[in-house]
Amino acid sequence: MNWEKKTFQKRKSGWFVLNFSPSLQTNMNEILSIRGLSKSYRNIRALNKLNLEIKEGQAYGILGPNGSGKTTTLSIIMGILKADQGSFSWFGEAPAPGQRRAIGSLIENPHFYPYLSLVRNLQIVCDIKQISYESIEPALESTKLLKRKRSRFSTLSLGMKQRLGIAAALLGNPKVLVLDEPTNGLDPEGIAEVREIILQQVERGSTLIMASHILNEVEKICDHVAILKKGELLADGPVRELLAEEEILEVGAADNQALLSVFSESELVKDLHTENGLLILTLTRGTTAADINLYAHRHKQTLHHMNSRKRSLEAQFLELVKEDQIP
């Protein structure tokens, strides 16, 4: 049984798509709605009829490998690219220039004048956004760059440059932050610094939309996630549920072939295979080892071996987005 295929079957039946309860949805304001968004670059389909709903206060991750459509999605909603089909709305309204003051963004690598100071670079950003300079020092303080405000951009480390990009996104105290791979290329210390800055903004009530190919960062920062592969939405929902660890059982009986036949027909199992003389069962959500033991007993199978193990989050994600096998 193919896990990815099973996932699509579950999505179509409504079991795998995890959303808020209707009562909670009505109490949260819509920030971004994406409907049927498609984009192609010649013969390459970057996005295919993408639908997403992001609510106020969510820390929303868009997760996928390189080439999955993450940057294309963010570029379209920020007005950098034009979609071939579909539409999107900010704050329940059609896109309009005035909305940009409520949205801070960092798409790909930050671009600043290398020979100008940090303050002067941010003043230029303020001029472009048509906002006052009042938020410059708080933005530098939040990103731990205030002591370097007179330094030239060219003298900064890679991590500091990335933090200045986030400082630019914070200018004007936006309600929404849109960040594309904010920790890309950074060393562990730089990743931790950027993560701390983002989490501070989330704790202050900002809505976050963050694209990343790093599962670990999405798990640490975001409460909701959409998983993309080749422009297709594979799954979306709360991180704690969608990326929850799966229960995997090793089981054995006197006749493993008969045991295999028994569990091949069971709805308690979403995947199974043999390994080193044992049957490896991936359990469906909510199924326990006791359920498996009882099911085997009812089918006249006595389990002489049962051991629990977990599939790591990374293993699940890699299996979900793995490339098609080349024959």
Residues 213-267 pLDDT 10s: 988 888 889 999 999 989 999 888 888 766 666 678 889 999 999 999 999 989 9
Give the mean pLDDT of the chain: 84
Q: What is the mean pLDDT of residues 22-48?
A: 79
Does residue 84 belong to any structural domain of this protein?
Answer: yes
- The lowest-confidence range among 119-133, 140-154, 199-213, 240-254 is 240-254
Q: Of 208, 242, 276, which one is at a domain's C-terminal end? A: 242
Q: What is the mean pLDDT of residues 120-147?
A: 95
Under the banding of pLDDT at 50, 70 and 90, the label for residue 184 is: confident
Segment 83-95, tens digit of pLDDT: 999 999 999 999 9
Give the per-residue pLDDT at 245: 63
Give the per-residue pLDDT at 241: 65
Which has the higher per-residue pLDDT, 85 or 97? Answer: 85
Instruction: Assess contact for 45 and 20: CB atoms under 8 A.
Output: no
Give the per-residue pLDDT at 234: 85
Give the per-residue pLDDT at 97: 83
CA distance 82 to 256: 56
Residues 188 and 291 reside in one and the same domain: no
Does residue 161 belong to any structural domain of this protein?
Answer: no
pTM higher than the cut 0.85: no
- The lowest-confidence range among 13-17, 66-70, 169-173, 206-210 is 13-17
Under the banding of pLDDT at 50, 70 and 90, the label for residue 27 is: very low
Residues 238 and 250 reside in one and the same domain: no
- The lowest-confidence range among 213-217, 243-247, 271-275, 285-289 is 243-247
Residues 198 and 307 reside in one and the same domain: no
Dihedral, CA of residue 299, residue 302, residue 305 and residue 309, to nearest 10: 30
Q: What is the mean pLDDT of residues 269-277?
A: 87
- Give me the CATH number covering residue 94: 3.40.50.300
Q: Quick one: residue 55, left, alpha or beta (phi over 0 = left, psi -120 to 50 = alpha)? A: beta
Give the per-residue pLDDT at 48: 94
Which has the higher per-residue pLDDT, 27 or 252? Answer: 252
Rg of the chain on CA atoms, in Å = 24
Residues 172 and 290 reside in one and the same domain: no
Which has the higher per-residue pLDDT, 133 or 241? Answer: 133
Q: What is the mean pLDDT of residues 59-72?
A: 92
Residues 173 and 306 reside in one and the same domain: no
Residues 212 and 293 reside in one and the same domain: no
The angle at the Cα of 177, spanning 199 to 45, to the nearest 5 degrees, equals 115
Residues 260 and 180 reside in one and the same domain: no
Q: Phi, psi at residue 169, to the nearest 5°?
A: -65, -25
Does residue 159 belong to any structural domain of this protein?
Answer: no
Residues 80 and 185 reside in one and the same domain: yes
Residues 290 and 171 reside in one and the same domain: no
Q: What is the mean pLDDT of residues 24-42?
A: 81
Does residue 16 belong to any structural domain of this protein?
Answer: no
Does residue 152 belong to any structural domain of this protein?
Answer: no
Residues 229 and 250 reside in one and the same domain: no
Give the per-residue pLDDT at 1: 30
Q: What is the mean pLDDT of residues 128-146?
A: 95
Does residue 322 belong to any structural domain of this protein?
Answer: no
**Structural domain harbouring 283:** 246-311
- Give me the CATH number covering residue 295: 3.30.70.260
Does residue 36 belong to any structural domain of this protein?
Answer: yes
Does residue 127 belong to any structural domain of this protein?
Answer: no
Among the listed residues 76, 28, 37, 74, the one whose alpha carbon sits nearest the alpha carbon of residue 55? 28
Give the per-residue pLDDT at 19: 33
Residues 265 and 217 reside in one and the same domain: no
Specify the number of domains making up the chain: 2
Q: What is the mean pLDDT of residues 101-111?
A: 89
